[in-house]
A and B are shown apart, each in its own frame.
Chain A
Amino acid sequence: MTYVDKNPRTKLMTQLDQQTLNEMQAAAEAAISAADTLEALGAAEAEVLGKKGSLTSLKKQLGGLEPEQRKEFGQLVNTTRSAIQEASNSRRAELSRVARMAQLEDERLDLTELRDEVRRGHYHLVTQARDRLEDVFVGMGFQVAEGPEVETAWYNFEALNIPDWHPARGSFDTIFVDLGEPEEVMLRSHTSPVQIRTMENQEPPIYIVAPGRTFRTDVADATHLPAFNQIEGLVIDKGITLGDLSGTIDAFVKSFFGHDVKTRLRPSYFPFTEPSAEFDISRADGSWLELGGCGMVNPQVLRNVGIDPDIWQGFAFGFGIDRLAVMRYQLDDIRELVNNDVRFLRQF
């Protein structure tokens, strides 16, 4: 295509034919693909498309053309400009990608190299077992009661219908404390004193569990500790039956151990309950494991705390907490629970 000279500027215009533009585009594209850094690319692009670029200055001259020519030629310039811009953009994307890859490669990490440890502490196994038990009983409608670990003979024995001569007293292997008269103050040998303290301070109905530390004169060995943990349950309400006790224990066991675990009650004897029973849970092999003791609160115990046994009836149960932890993790030595070796504590 040839353009007709109409004014003094046409001399230049005559050079603006398609070929010139093609050449200009080819040169620019060559420069763009030759650019191997973003900076070089910028320079190459500016050479053509920048404020003082060759194509830009060409465009500035379009004003001197006839409107028709201006339009036609303007379109050609724009097409060329777009093509160059696109080539530049594409080259820029490529160079950015390469640069990013280089950067990322530079940052490559072996994630298995040791880093600073984020450490959380560990709850003691007994706390874990106790919290789980509390949660199950709270879900069943119980409150959690607590009491002192050093007790008087009244709370540990007499109020529980265990007078001083009673054969059962000896079986508690009580650790006594040098306060008061001989054998008047002791480390509680069971959590049952909390029953008495609760009933003294609270009107029925009462639905409590009482977890806590208890003590016996057992020499520490793989299966015994002189200080260990028990949980005690007490319900006092109107019309409570042995059937309620049996059902409550069954509901607890199913919730705590699993729904396929069965329970049974066997007649037994405790001075503070009448009737009394021991309760067993079934093991996978079909045999029974004795878990704890229970029974209907002896009317004499209710009288001892000023509750009328003709109106109120109730049940109580108790069992060891530590043993549950031992069973759950098949610990071979219960002393680990009081050794506080962090190599043990941090396993759970």
Chain B
Amino acid sequence: MKVLLSWLREFAPDIDGDPVELGETLSALGLAVEEMSVTGTGVDGVVVAKVLNLRPHPDADKIQLVDVDAGDGEALQVACGAFNMSVGDLIPFATIGTVMPNGMEIAQRKMRGEMSNGMCCSGAELGMGDDHDGIMLLTGNVDESKLGMPLNEALGITEDILWDLEVNANRPDAMSIAGVARDLAAGLGIPFSFPEPTISETPELITDLAKIEVVDPTLCGRFLARVLRDVQVGTSPQWLANRITALGMRPINSVVDISNYVMLELGQPNHTYDLNLVPEGHLRIRRANAGGESIVTLDGAERQLIESDGVIANGADEAIGIAGVMGGQSTEISDSTTDVLLEMAWWDPPSISRTVKRLNLPSEASVRYRRGADYGENMERAMLRFGQLLAESGATIVSGQLDESGDTPDRTPIRVRPAKVNGLLGTDLSAAEMTTHLTSIGFGVEPAAEDLDVTIPTWRWDTQTETDVSEEVGRLFGYENIPRTVPKGIEAGGLSDYQKDRRLVREILVGAGCDETQPMPFLAPGDLEKAGLPEQGVTLSNPIVHEESILRTSLLPGQLKTIAYNQSHRSGPVALFEIGHIYLPPNDGELLPDEREALCVAIAGGDATSAVAMLDLLEAQLALPNLQLRAAEPAGLHPTRSADVFVAGKHRGEVGEVDPAVAEAFGVSGRVGWIQLDLGSVLNGPHGKKNYRRVSKFPSSDIDLAFVVGNDVSAAQVGITIKKAAGDLLVDMSLFDTYRGESVGTDARSLAYALRLQADDRTLTDEEVGTLRQSVIDAVAKNHKAVLR
């Protein structure tokens, strides 16, 4: 909502002081100043000039030559690129030496050989609106008597302050000049009052000309109507056009401009019908017909209505307007309109909101209806204001107004307990102080023993409860005056075990040289298929772009895109990890996706063994119990270089290498070692238990054993057998060599293990070591058909 200082002063004449400080006051009242500007300073050197002659430029067809009289009676030749002027038009003219708002200085110069002595200006060039289309044609109050006069003086524009305020959805009152003035006056502690408009009425009675029927009281809380005759649709007075222009609306014609002016000034949207197009002036307020109904609106579009939409129908029950949203074309005001039926209504905010949203038809009017416009005496005031302004151009006003009611908000006073208010705000205000604050913005307050009975004003539809009233007290007392305290009941804070472990995972991976990534979780259609994964991603109904319309079910596609991006920037080998949510289709009977927190590690330039090494690191640091790699061909991964990861007997993810075809499909070159774990399940499952083993003071014995083992047996399986057979005396074991070659055959390879044996209460004898060695050899031979090499 934009407001002008001069306009605010019509309601609170004592507003004075530094505009920046006034802006701070507005902000502290909850009307945040988004922008403040000084308007109407004008451009020195721009004067009113008259077009004397127009003729083609001899050497150019994109510009013409114009002779203007800039006030001294002389014809000045100017070259001009616009063609919207006619001889006799009055225009803004920048004389030689004028510095335009964009910094350009107007100089005498030749254009294609013809002298140009100034510039004819468009509105945009003067910083007066967005109109670039052509030269600004001065009409209305500007006539030839003003030739040579500085433009702003001729237009009656004076210097002013314009604030652009952010008005919250709970402040319908502040969507008007008057409402902002009321708040500002209360904040400054100065008087506020409405200049009450007056009109004179003709003897004719409105009851003979129009009739209002509120068929659905839940839709329309109140409906006022008046009839204006002798209307001449013309140009608005300059001062009025200037004001609505300053507030961001474009002058159209006298009737439309006054309609907007009244809405901006008093916050009361309104609508005008050509009375002669409404048979008997009969309006029926109802919901749209269940059977389906359509209407051609002012913008020329035919719109289908549904049962919940509000409609204004004529006596024949044909829809001629969508209530609070847009009028109909059939009763539109035109240049030939002479009689106007004027509507001021209060519509049920939720009803209007639903229709606006459904038809996607927001407007300055519906913004106000949706927040809850004023249903009180302001409606009559707005009606009179409209009449007063239109009467200035000769319109007459028929006697009386129609006033039909539907359901309006309950205005039973609210019992407000000052102790409760202070308890919410953390203040120590007396009931009297609260009363002062509330009455300053028009709330009715009556003492009720210790408490207050507060009547909510008609312009505060959203204010309904004791808490709402407390907010008003706090707002006017000033949030900055409330003493700062901290809650007294706070106990020790902390992270959950899960959150601590998740940080540990990050620490481990960062320590191991991996960089953390956080791609957005959106995928393009086809990404999952390209990654070899099932296409079961949940889709977005209103994606921003098609390429981001699917929710990921795996971290794989995002990481491959990230790797491809970095490879294309020649960033060398990258080891990346990510902890983020994946969204699997909902489980049976569930509405929401099966959302999980996943961890992945992607090592570009590393193979499956590098991924397994990283997994080993995680296993050791997190003390994952019984981590096993089981042969599998996980989707998207290299079929012969990948495995399922099991922790404590449960499937928790995959490890290995990305399928080369998948990597290639994403533009990734080289191998990519890959781990993806269901981090939530891993960290919520058993882990982290580390048992102390006394460090032995006795010597250890090392033995090396190499077995020829069939390719169908994994090294991990052999390792498990060795551990089992060696028992407690085995303190360390490693696979230190593998060998494939003719000497061991094509179906097998040699696996060489180093074992360290040690007791913590004695030195092992050669005999003991020998026995243990033999039982390991026997166990491996028996379980895996392995042969000692």
Contact = CB atoms under 8 A, between A and B. Distances in A.
A267 B28 contact: yes
Nearest to B349: A165
Contact of B475 (A140, A187, A275): A275
Given A175-B542, A213-B581, A342-B566, A238 B515 contact: no
Interface string A137-156: 11111111000111110000
A49 B547 CA distance: 93
Interface string A164-181: 111110110001111110
A328 B371 CA distance: 38
A339 interface: yes
Nearest to B352: A165
Contact of A235 (B27, B485, B487, B562): B487
A303 B566 CA distance: 51
Contacts of A131: 503
A122 B515 contact: yes
Contact of B519 (A164, A218, A251, A340): A340
Interface in B111-161: none
Interface string A107-143: 0000000000001111110110001001001111111
B370 A138 contact: no
A18 interface: no
B206 interface: no
A227 interface: yes
A120 B513 contact: yes
B301 interface: no
A220 B576 CA distance: 23
B426 A275 contact: no
A205 B484 CA distance: 20
Nearest to A251: B486
A251 B492 CA distance: 16
Nearest to B29: A267
Nearest to B308: A165
A242 to B, nearest CB: 5
B485 A244 contact: yes
B592 A340 contact: no
A8 interface: no
Contacts of B482: 242-243, 246, 265
A148 B506 contact: no
A255 B11 CA distance: 45
Contact of B592 (A148, A164, A345): A148
A177 B539 contact: yes
B774 interface: no
B32 A278 contact: yes
Interface string A306-346: 00000001000000000000000000000001111111011
Contacts of A140: 490, 493
B515 A179 contact: no
B517 A345 contact: yes
A77 interface: no
Contacts of A237: 487, 489
B270 interface: no
Contacts of A127: 506, 516, 518
Contact of B171 (A150, A207, A266, A269): A269
A141 B495 CA distance: 10
Contacts of B479: 242, 246, 264-267, 277
Interface string A283-298: 0000000000000101
Given A143-B494, A266-B32, A242 B474 contact: yes
Nearest to B472: A275
Nearest to B520: A227
Given A121-B512, A178-B538, A207 B493 contact: yes
Interface string B492-515: 111110010001001001111111
A241 interface: yes
Interface in B580-603: 581, 583, 586, 591-593, 595
A250 interface: yes
B489 A176 contact: no
B538 A126 contact: no
A144 B485 contact: no
A338 B518 contact: yes
Contacts of A266: 27-28, 30, 32, 479
A227 B522 contact: yes
A109 to B, nearest CB: 25
B203 to A, nearest CB: 44
A240 interface: yes
B336 interface: no
Contacts of B484: 243, 246-247, 250
Contacts of A339: 565
A74 interface: no
Interface in B343-370: 349-351, 353-354, 357, 367, 370
Contact of B538 (A177, A184, A218, A239): A177
B468 interface: yes
B593 A150 contact: yes
A299 interface: yes
Main secondary structure of the interface of A (DSSP, over half): mixed
Q: Which of A139, A165, A277 has the largest count of B CB atoms less than 10 A from its CB?
A: A165
A132 B474 CA distance: 33
Nearest to B562: A340
A163 interface: yes
A163 B350 CA distance: 9
A342 B515 contact: yes
- Most chain A beta-carbon contacts within 10 A, residue among B485, B509, B577, B581: B485
A276 interface: yes
Contacts of B485: 241, 243-244, 246-247
A121 B487 contact: no
Contacts of A123: 506, 510, 516
Given A163-B350, A341-B565, A242 B426 contact: yes
Of B350, B482, B488, B571, the most chain A CB neighbours within 10 A belong to: B482
B544 interface: yes
A169 B170 CA distance: 13
Contacts of A141: 490-493
Contacts of A313: 423-424
Contacts of B510: 120-123
A41 interface: no
Which of B465, B468, B494, B520 has the most CB atoms of chain A within a 10 A radius of its CB?
B520
Contacts of A235: 487
A134 to B, nearest CB: 7
Given A219-B544, A299-B465, A342-B574, A124 B538 contact: no
A293 B150 CA distance: 47
A175 B540 contact: yes
A248 interface: yes
A246 B491 CA distance: 19
Contacts of B494: 138, 143
Contact of A121 (B169, B490, B495, B515): B515
B168 interface: yes
Given A241-B485, A243-B427, A248-B487, A267 B475 contact: yes
Give the top 3 A-B pairs by smallest Cβ distance, nearest first: A243-B426, A267-B30, A241-B426
Given A122-B515, A148-B581, A175-B542, 6 more contacts: A123-B506, A205-B489, A207-B487, A226-B544, A337-B518, A340-B566
Interface of B: 27-30, 32, 168-171, 349-351, 353-354, 357, 367, 370-371, 423-427, 465, 467-468, 470-471, 474-475, 479-480, 482-496, 499, 503, 506, 509-522, 538-545, 548, 551, 562, 565-566, 569, 571, 574-577, 581, 583, 586, 591-593, 595
21 contacts: A120-B513, A122-B516, A126-B518, A141-B492, A149-B521, A152-B592, A179-B538, A207-B490, A227-B520, A227-B521, A241-B423, A243-B485, A244-B426, A244-B485, A264-B480, A269-B30, A269-B170, A274-B468, A340-B576, A341-B565, A343-B571
Interface of A: 119-124, 126-127, 131, 134, 137-144, 148-152, 163-168, 170-171, 175-180, 182-185, 187, 205, 207, 213, 217-220, 225-227, 235, 237-244, 246-248, 250-251, 264-269, 271, 274-278, 296, 298-299, 313, 337-343, 345-346
